Amino acid sequence: MARVIINDSGEQELFTDANPGVVELAAGAAVIGTVTLGAGTAAIGTVDANLQVGDVDASTANPVPTSGCLDLIEVTLSLSTDAYASGDVLATACKFPDTFSVIVTHFGPSDYGYDNPDGWWYNNDGSDTAEIQARVGGTPAAVPNNYRARNAVEAIAHNYTGGHLYLFHDDADTRIPIVHSQRIGAAILPEGLGNYTEDYTDALDDPRWTHGYPTDGSDLVETEPIWVPTVWSQTAWIVPASGTVCVIGYIVTKRFEIWLGTTTRGGVGGGLDEVATVVYDTTIDTYTVTPLTGACDVYVWQADGKTGTAVGIVVETEIIVT
């Protein structure tokens, strides 16, 4: 399996001598890529020139510009130590679930402001409020569906049912409070999946997972011995042939793709403020869509080439792909 390291902080700080574990991991990889997802200059939906991996920006919810581009490579790891990019990493678990065998997030915002008081717009230390509002398109009161379409808490337990998710956080983090990671763990726990690790630190711990970068003298490099072995041992997985997913904007899996707010594959013009639950069965080509944010268009693409659409649905609707 090719292993692609996704460095989505936009600063490439993961590939330095100060981060020996990741350097060693990269040295043994069949494919090495630095792909900016959301926090750097590619946060406008552009495609990385090296590997053609599309931008997955959880805050602005830009869809992948070339649908299916992730099929070109086998991605093992989605990793971040940056604030906004860590939110993007959680979004990859919801939007590209079986692409990633291991997902590692350090102090990631799991909800940009859908929940009050636990959404990031409400509980950040004030330094990110204006930026969140600008990225998402307004306040939670003004555009609640925009925030719901960026809420990993609602979707992750339904979508990331394989692989392994690591959540690192410190209880003294005021920029992104620890509740963001705790809510992800709490959402997955009732599903009995066992495919996640919560690792939280407080004043009694040394080292601590203090908000920062692995190259700025913080203890974050010490998380590597925890998650790096899993990258090497974890096998690829695929979503079940039938089940239920929560689509926040769109979802791309090895079996199917579902795009909301559009009737074309690739999501152009959609995916910004739409959420739906979908009960699917690829063995009989059915997708039962229940819109959660009002009327929406739906496009479904199945791996065998069958497709289906629905326009302006407001209630539970069955789509049969042909």
* Contact between residue 64 and residue 56 where contact means Cβ atoms under 8 Å apart: yes
- CB 298, CB 96: distance < 8 Å: no
CB atoms within 10 A of CB 48: 17
Mean pLDDT of 249-266: 89
Domains of the chain: 5-233 (3.40.50), 242-320 (no CATH)
- Cα separation, 233 vs 164, whole angstroms: 11
- Identify the pLDDT of residue 46: 33
Residue 151 has pLDDT above 70, yes or no: yes
**What confidence score (pLDDT) does residue 252 get?**
87
State the average pLDDT for the chain.
79
Do residues 119 and 147 lie in contact, with contact meaning Cβ atoms separated by under 8 Å? yes
Which stretch of 8-12, 105-109, 264-268 has the lowest confidence by average pLDDT?
A: 8-12
pTM: 0.85
For the record, the structure tokens of 20 come out as: 């020996």
What's the CA gap between 52 and 68, in Å, rounded? 10
Work out the pLDDT band at 213, boundaries 50, 70, 90.
Answer: confident
Average pLDDT value for residue range 164-180: 96
